[in-house]
């Protein structure tokens, strides 16, 4: 069984602290500690099992071994090729093609990125489950960040809330942009008569999108976008709202004669690695169908 571990060499500033207090500072929650205690994890100080009430001394080696994670019985692994840009013991960065769901749904119960990841984990004999940090719509292509353990997922989700995990997108949007850059700050909520479609509405959740026109063409523009928030369909809704729906996005008014999916691609992903404690950044070129249009 695979177990996820974290290890620290205790510095002078942390000497005298109880293990419980030190681990709280490392963002290990009370629920995680309970899971460690009752579900097969261990806490070792200098190689010996200890409780969280043990005080620390300078130079101690503290090891936390989390319980193994089991894959949900409802989630099947599938042998689907993955384009992996980066992988270590904690995270994976993949380039998701358009047409692949991030997670299974009632309409698309198989063939998702999650199914592919589980299939990959089985192949490399890693016993864990899927923790997708940054989801993309089924027909949006580009970079997706996946955590290999729920604690790493917790740390990355905190970065999302704090705005230190950043995603840049590129899109092909209809019409002539008279402003080459700008910010769209409009609340987004679900349409009352739809379980899928979103719209700008006063009572919705705050949403902020920055855009910059990279190049204007005769009937559409190549646009770079960065999100301050991560609402469902945010870019698609915001650009449609200002009169520039994405090419191929029939749900929000885009014309579909030149491309059969919304022309949206996550091209850059930047985050602070929760274990390496330094910034990682990845970029990927546009998907083939969008490049051909340009």
**Looking at the DSSP assignment, which residues form a beta bridge with residue 57?**
none
Q: Catalytic one among 14, 49, 137, 250?
A: 137
Question: Cα dihedral sign for 11, 17, 19, 21?
Answer: negative
Q: What are the tokens at 76?
A: 């099947």
Closest CA to 49 of 31, 34, 36: 36
Q: 193 catalytic, yes or no?
A: no
Residues in the chain: 294
Three-state secondary structure along the chain?
Answer: CCCCEEEEECCHHHCCCEHHHHHHHCCCCHHHHHHHHHCCCEEEECCEECCCCCECCCCCEEEEECCCCCCCCCCCCCCCCCCEEEECCCEEEEEECCCCCCCCCCCCCCCCHHHHHHHHHHHCCCCCCCEECCCCCCCCEEEEEEECCHHHHHHHHHHHHHCCCEEEEEEEEECCCCCCEEEEECCEEECCCCCCCEEECCCCECCEEEEEEEEECCCEEEEEEEECCCCCCHHHHHHHHCCCCECCCHHHCCCCCCCCCCCEEEEEEEEECCCCCCEEEEECCCCHHHHHHC
Active site residues: 137
């Amino acid at each position: 069984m695979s177990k996820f571990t974290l290890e620290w060499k205790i510095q002078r500033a942390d000497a005298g602290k109880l293990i419980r207090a030190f681990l709280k500072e490392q963002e290990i929650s009370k629920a995680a500690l309970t899971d460690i205690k009752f579900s097969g994890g261990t806490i070792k100080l200098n190689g010996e099992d200890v409780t969280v009430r043990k005080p620390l001394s300078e130079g101690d080696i503290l090891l936390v071994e989390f319980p193994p994670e089991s894959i949900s019985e409802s989630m099947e692994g599938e042998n689907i090729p993955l384009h992996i840009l980066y992988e270590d013991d904690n995270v994976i960065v993949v380039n998701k093609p358009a047409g692949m769901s991030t997670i299974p749904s009632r309409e698309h119960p198989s063939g998702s990125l999650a199914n592919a990841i589980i299939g990959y984990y089985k192949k490399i004999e890693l016993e864990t489950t899927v923790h997708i940090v940054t989801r993309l719509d089924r027909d949006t292509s580009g970079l997706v960040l996946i955590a290999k353990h729920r604690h790493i997922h917790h740390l990355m989700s905190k970065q999302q809330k704090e705005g230190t995990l950043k995603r840049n997108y590129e899109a092909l949007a209809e019409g002539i942009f008279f402003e080459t850059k700008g910010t769209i700050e409009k609340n987004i909520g679900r349409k009352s008569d739809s379980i899928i479609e979103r719209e700008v509405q006063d009572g919705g959740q705050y949403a902020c999108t920055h855009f910059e026109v990279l190049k204007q063409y005769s009937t559409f523009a190549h646009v770079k976008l960065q999100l301050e928030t991560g609402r469902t369909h945010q870019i698609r809704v915001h650009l449609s709202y200002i009169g520039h729906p994405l090419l191929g996005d029939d749900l929000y008014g885009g014309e579909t004669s030149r491309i059969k999916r919304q022309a949206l691609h996550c091209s850059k992903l930047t985050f602070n690695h929760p274990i390496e404690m330094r910034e990682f950044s990845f970029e990927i070129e546009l998907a083939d169908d969008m490049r051909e249009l340009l």
